[in-house]
Structure 1
Amino acid sequence: MTPIGSPPVPLVAAGFRSEQTFPEVAEPVRLRIPALGVDSPIQGLGLREDGEVEVPATVGVAGWYRLGARPGQPGPAVILGHVDSKTEPGIFARLSGVTVGTEVRVDRSDGTTATFRITGVSQVAKVRFPTDLVYAPTLDPTLRLVTCGGSFDRSRGSYRDNVIAFADLA
């Protein structure tokens, strides 16, 4: 309500432009999880033609979903990795066994490192993937690590579940 005698205040000011007031966070270049023996360069990932998130090109490399938050800025930064291939374990072969409190380090292109701590791990059927829980905006910097898990469906040539590790900035 406008006080008597004051000019009306428009709900949306014409020509208003919000300025970014927080420092830009550099892109991630390396993922390190010492407790799991993970030390990997990070590949940028986008979307496939069908709208699904791309996956890393090789089993030994982690991939960051570059259309989302950067690790250390508000929002969920999502890093994906393979659990295995027909011939070798993948970068996230041991992710399902990660424990709460495990340290995750993401090195960035400007030489800084964002350190996260695992807060929980979940295994969910791919047909019930919690898209909102993984990708929806958060006010704080968070990290989501995603891989395959559960039983292997030979007819489809893929795992039936996803393993998702959740982490908060330390």
Structure 2
Amino acid sequence: MEGTFENPATMPRQRFSKLTPIYAPTKITNPKPTQSTRRMGIEFVKDQKGTTKRPIHDNAKDKIDFVEANLDMIDLDLAVGIQEPTTNFIEQYFQQQSNVAQKQHRLHKSRRHITIRPRHIVRGLIVLLIVSAIGLWVYDSTAVSSREAHAVAAQTPPASNNVVDTTNYIPKTLTITKLGINASIESVATTANGAMGVPGNIWNAAWYNKSAKPGQAGAVFIDGHSSSTDGALFGKLNTLAKGDIINVMRADNIVINYKVMAINVVNRSNVDMSSMLKPYGTSRNGLNILSCQGKWLPSEETLENRVLVYAVQI
């Protein structure tokens, strides 16, 4: 009824319908005594025109929306002085909502530190591709090197097979066509007093087994007896001339040919035995022959001179 005031205690309990929140005080054209209650920051005002809700602080609009969305749950009592039973429930709800919002904010903030941006993914893929390419290149290079090593090993015979067996390089016969010589060659060493050994008879030649073998680098050193009366092998050795040919057959029947380069006749005390173990001049392979010549010395049982023949392999 217009202009009358009903006792709140006798007013029926009712639920709010959808109301638009007002952010400014509502002007009442017919001022009459009103009833109001403030709950949860919202002022509920009832006058002759109905009930008006006015927010008291900034977040009141959210609370009004919550109340309007949950009218079936909330039963507001507009009676002045009567405590609303749902007030604590609504306050607890908004407190929970605030806690949830804070947790979500902290979670979002922590996630920002581990955010994987698209450009980071692209960079990572590029690095992965580069590393993979390098790994494949290293693997391929290693495999190729291994294959090449096996190929070389297959083509190259074992080192032991490359060792030349010189057992059959030992000189077997000496031939000097100019002098009519075709003699067997014995292998000798040095005597007890350090002198070079000599053949066992006057018809053979002797090869010093510490000198080079025919066909090898160094000088082949051969000696033999000499006599002008009993037909010893090198009785006419001093008659050789530069350019004469000497042939040496090895045990493997290979003949090595030499050409005479020089003939020297010197006193026995002037012989440099070390020179007899070296090839003549700049030659790589040589043949040197030594024999006796001259007057017989009974006290020393030898001839006074030595004939030295130097030849090179041809």
TM range (shorter): 0.7 to 0.9
- Inter-partner Cα distance in structure 2 for 1:148 and 1:83: 6
Match of 2:96 in 1: none
Residue number among 271, 274, 277 corresponding to 1:135 in the alignment:
277
Contact 2:214 2:248 in 1 (8 A): yes
- Inter-partner Cα distance in structure 2 for 1:22 and 1:106: 23
Aligned-pair distance for 1:111?
A: 1.4
Q: How many residues are matched?
A: 152
Match of 2:235 in 1: 93
- Inter-partner Cα distance in structure 1 for 2:165 and 2:240: 30
Match of 1:48 in 2: 191
- Unmatched runs of 5 consecutive residues or more in structure 1: 1-18
Aligned-pair distance for 1:154?
A: 2.8
> Larger helix proportion, structure 1 or 2?
2
| 1:56-95 paired onto structure 2 within 5 Å | 56-84=199-227, 88-95=230-237
- Inter-partner Cα distance in structure 1 for 2:172 and 2:240: 22
- 1:28–1:22 distance in 2 versus 1, CA, 3 Å: same
- Unmatched runs of 5 consecutive residues or more in structure 2: 1-159
Contact 2:292 2:307 in 1 (8 A): yes
Aligned-pair distance for 1:60?
A: 0.4
**Relative contact order (C-alpha < 8 Å, sep 6+): which is higher?**
1
- Inter-partner Cα distance in structure 1 for 2:231 and 2:191: 24
Amino acid in the other structure paired with 1:61: N
Is the radius of gyration larger for structure 1 or structure 2? 2
Contact 2:259 2:313 in 1 (8 A): yes
Aligned-pair distance for 1:109?
A: 0.7
- TM-score, length of structure 1 as denominator length: 0.81
| Percent identity (aligned) | 24
Residue 164 in structure 1 maps to residue 308 in structure 2? yes
Aligned-pair distance for 1:29?
A: 0.3
- TM-score, length of structure 2 as denominator length: 0.45
| 1:92-111 paired onto structure 2 within 5 Å | 92-111=234-253
Contact 1:123 1:150 in 2 (8 A): no
- Inter-partner Cα distance in structure 2 for 1:110 and 1:157: 37
- 1:161–1:169 distance in 2 versus 1, CA, 3 Å: same
The 10-residue stretch of structure 1 (123-132 or 99-108) with the greater mean CA deviation from structure 2: 123-132
Q: CA RMSD in A?
A: 2.3
Match of 1:7 in 2: none
- Inter-partner Cα distance in structure 1 for 2:193 and 2:176: 31
Deviation string 1:84-109 (CA, Å, 9 cap, x unpaired) is 28x61211111001011111000011
